[in-house]
Amino acid sequence: MTYTEKHILDHILKLSKKFISVSSTLANPSGLQEVLNIAKKELEGYFAMEEFESNGIPSLLIHNTNKRTKHFKIVLNAHLDVVPGEKKQFKPFEKNGRLYGRGAYDMKAASAVMILVFKQLAKELHYPIALQLVTDEEIGGFDGAEYQLKKGLQTDFVIAGEGGSSFKIQHQARGIAWIKIKIPGIAAHSAYPWLGKNPILQMHEIVSAIKKAFPVPSDPTWKTTVTIVNVETSNVAFNKVPADCSIYADIRYVPKDSDRILDKIKALLPEGVQLEVLQHTNPAYIPTSNKFVKILKKNTEAVLGREALLTGAYASADIRHYTNLGFSGIEFGPIGANHHSDDDEWVDIKSLEDYYHILKNFLLAIN
């Protein structure tokens, strides 16, 4: 459209930095709108743009068709929200070929690439393509990607430019089950514990059993993990045997455990203890034989000059909302590190240029 390929990296960096400078976190709702406005300004006037809002979370769907189609061949999914960071992390800077800042890797730079690829190509493509910009992926994506899908969005294939993939094509993601284990007890004065039944004792045994059945891996492992995220009791007196205790656990399970994971947990629980599933998301799995996956793999290898790996994603991103409905999708983004950590999130600058070309070639190849 307006700029040349030669300067594409400058554009990507400029737009990425604009995004990083906005603290678009859950705690700062005006930042969510502000970051979307930057994207909007970049694309305004060229394309049909649909605005959404759910529970105060804004999102956009930009596409290359004139009619109000709901079914796209390809959706590029980008989230512009970030996890919280220190003030200085919202001042992007370049150093030794890396762009630093909160969201550099997850996924503001990738978002900038997707926006610019879309801007450059969308009009030339002969199929319906949409760019989805959301602002709530980090808190679950229910009011962004999932909301748009509820409103009728459909696609043959979606690519999320998620942080964490570093050019690996993540075609499967673990399922999530957030569970609450409710342990009843019998309250008593703590000087007379034999008159009661301390649920904290049973909690202790259950945690031991979970730990034994699902040891915490010390390295990244494609296995089901169970993390105890909270233990609580409603007891507020320090001299009372509690009447109840609850364990909250975050379960991430690999696709092959789909049918048995909850039964496995239940089998660890003594009688009288209840299991409540607070939220459940199926694992995502796209066969490696999927034609879009194959085309993406081929184009990635052509640009990088090396093999592109197909792997699983440990965490679930917005893709799960698509795969839950039967739409195919993968996570695929540039190289970087330290997203979700306290400091030094970065994205590799050269990889942004590669990412641009891979996406571009992929979209053209589908034409």
Partner 1 sequence: MFQKIVPLTKDFLSIPSISGDRKEIDKILAIVKRELQEFPFLSFESNGHPSLLYANRNLEKKEFDIILNAHLDIVHGKPEEFIPKEIDGKLYGRGAKDMKAASAVMVLLFKELAKTIPYSLALQIVTDEEPGGLDGTGYQVKQGVKGKFAICGEGTNLVIIHKAKTRMLVKLTTNGKTAHSAYPWKGENAVMNMHKAIANIFQAYPTPQEESEETIVTVTSFTTENNTLNQIPDNCTAYLDIRFVPDEQDSIIPKITSLLPENIIMEIVFKFYSHDTNPENIYLQLLQKEGEKLLGHSLKLGMAHGASDAPFFTEVGCDAIEFGPTGNNHHGEGEWVDIQSLEDYYHILKNFLLSAQDL
Residues that bind partner 1 (CB under 8 A): 174, 178, 186-196, 198, 200-201, 203-204, 207-208, 211, 216-221, 225, 227-233, 235-242, 245, 248, 250, 252, 278-279, 314-316, 340-341
Residue placing its CB nearer to partner 1 in the complex, 55 or 239: 239
| Contacts (Cβ under 8 Å, ≥6 apart) of 234 | 242, 243, 244
Q: What's the min distance (Å) between Cβ of 206 and partner 1?
A: 10
Task: Tell which residue, 282, 356, 317, has the closest CA to residue 8.
Answer: 356
191 within 8 A of 237, measured Cβ to Cβ: no
**Beta strands at 129-134 and 57-63: parallel, antiparallel or unpaired:** antiparallel
Q: Find residue 334's DSSP bridge partners.
A: none
183 within 8 A of 273, measured Cβ to Cβ: yes
Q: What's the min distance (Å) between Cβ of 343 and partner 1?
A: 13
Q: What single letter denotes the amino acid at residue 70?
A: K
Task: Tell which residue, 139, 116, 91, 166, has the closest CA to residue 7.
Answer: 116
Q: What's the min distance (Å) between Cβ of 342 and partner 1?
A: 9
Residue placing its CB nearer to partner 1 in the complex, 187 or 275: 187
Residue placing its CB nearer to partner 1 in the complex, 130 or 241: 241
Q: What's the min distance (Å) between Cβ of 295 and partner 1?
A: 28
Residue placing its CB nearer to partner 1 in the complex, 208 or 274: 208
In the numeric block, which tokens belong to residue 211? 């730990």
| Contacts (Cβ under 8 Å, ≥6 apart) of 53 | 59
Residue placing its CB nearer to partner 1 in the complex, 238 or 326: 238
Q: What's the min distance (Å) between Cβ of 189 and partner 1?
A: 4
Segment (H or E) for 297: helix 291-304
